[in-house]
Amino acid sequence: MPVFKFTSIAKLGGASLLALVPMAFAQAATFTFTAIPDADESQLRTRFEKVAEYLEQQLGVDVEYVPVKSYSAAVTAFRNNQVQLAWFGGLSGVQARKLVEGSQAIAQGYEDQFFKSYIIAHHSADIDASKEFPDISGTSFTFGSKGSTSGRLMPQYFIEKHLETTPKKAFKRVGFSGDHSRTIAQVQAGAYQVGAVNYKVWERELEEGKIDLNKVKVIWETPTYPDYQWTIRADVDAKYGEAFTGKVKAALLDMKNPDLLKSFPRSSFVEATNADYQPVEDVAKQIGLID
């Protein structure tokens, strides 16, 4: 705080000084957010530092993007108040809100209302694309992160539904790549014959020329489900000022810059509530990922 501010405060009475101290600290506090690492870390940093700049301009407080190494680390950072806002997947958002009572899902991408996963296969698996669930039993299979909605939760649910057994029993080998980009790379290289991937990451990498359709292809897509969302901690209004949650929500819904939206990638953001993710919580309980 500059010296002249201390000088002017010192002229006030003791009661006024005490009243201003909480305000001064609230104004000085940095608002932090994170995002689940669903793609290459260097790409995420570039994308979300731009989002931090946008939020800083809109909210009038310092804003910092805090990268994390895993989905579980994002949930832990939120639980420990190391971040106050997070771009979660459906499952990680449910987990985080269970750990921090009163936290809210406040916005989701327009596309997140009807998200989907792709099942992809290496050409050597010799599996044709189909509207019906393909016979992928006996192949080697990789999910994304263990905490991913689109790379693990929903694909596992549909695998168990259609194959009537667990992945461990259905496949000769099961892996977890860690993120969607690695899943695509591993299946394309033939390290795994089949994998599950976020359709948005697939479409982005296809557009960027990173996917060789002579080596890997989509063989099935899931029915739609709710996925990513912005979740904010319940205590931000007390720390950053009255109605701060509403200000953050408004800033996210007003994000119109195509370059910023491409960071996600989403066409726009729309309102979200915790209730929107009840289907995700139900599936997670059904297959035993949460209690």
pLDDT reported for residue 262: 85
CB-count exposure of residue 97 (10 Å: 0-12, 13-18, 19+): buried
Which value, to the nearest 10 degrees, does the dihedral of the CA atoms of residues 275, 277, 278, 284 take? -160
Do 43 and 19 share a domain, yes or no?
Answer: yes
Do 127 and 104 share a domain, yes or no?
Answer: no
Per the prediction, the chain carries an average pLDDT of 90
Do 46 and 127 share a domain, yes or no?
Answer: no
Do 127 and 203 share a domain, yes or no?
Answer: yes
Q: How does residue 28 score in pLDDT terms, banded at 50, 70 and 90?
A: low
What's the CATH number where 127 sits?
3.40.190.10
Dump pLDDT digits (tens) for 132-187.
999 999 999 999 999 999 999 999 999 999 999 999 999 999 999 999 999 999 99
Final residue belonging to a domain, choices 221, 240, 272: 221
Question: Does 236 reside within a domain?
Answer: yes
pLDDT reported for residue 223: 97
Final residue belonging to a domain, choices 201, 221, 241: 221
pLDDT mean over 189-213: 96
pLDDT reported for residue 16: 42
Do 126 and 93 share a domain, yes or no?
Answer: no
Q: How many structural domains compose the chain?
A: 2
Cβ–Cβ < 8 Å for 254, 58 = yes
Dump pLDDT digits (tens) for 209-254.
999 999 999 999 999 999 999 999 999 999 999 999 999 999 999 9
Which value, to the nearest 10 degrees, does the dihedral of the CA atoms of residues 181, 183, 189, 194 take? -150
Do 108 and 120 share a domain, yes or no?
Answer: no
Final residue belonging to a domain, choices 206, 221, 236: 221
Q: How does residue 291 score in pLDDT terms, banded at 50, 70 and 90?
A: confident
pLDDT mean over 60-88: 96
pLDDT reported for residue 26: 40
Q: How does residue 47 score in pLDDT terms, banded at 50, 70 and 90?
A: confident
Question: Does 143 reside within a domain?
Answer: yes
Do 245 and 215 share a domain, yes or no?
Answer: no
Residue 273 has pLDDT above 60, yes or no: yes
Q: How does residue 24 score in pLDDT terms, banded at 50, 70 and 90?
A: very low
pLDDT mean over 194-216: 96
Residue 123: give the domain boundaries.
116-221
Do 230 and 217 share a domain, yes or no?
Answer: no
Give percent above pLDDT 70 in the chain. Answer: 89
Q: How does residue 43 score in pLDDT terms, banded at 50, 70 and 90?
A: confident
Residue 27 has pLDDT above 70, yes or no: no
CA dist., res. 68 & res. 139, Å (int): 32
Question: Does 291 reside within a domain?
Answer: no
Do 199 and 215 share a domain, yes or no?
Answer: yes
Q: How far is CA 108 from the centre of its chain?
A: 10
Do 106 and 130 share a domain, yes or no?
Answer: no
Do 40 and 88 share a domain, yes or no?
Answer: yes
Do 211 and 251 share a domain, yes or no?
Answer: no
Question: Does 105 reside within a domain?
Answer: yes
Supply 234's token pair: 């319940």
pLDDT mean over 98-114: 97
Question: Does 171 reside within a domain?
Answer: yes
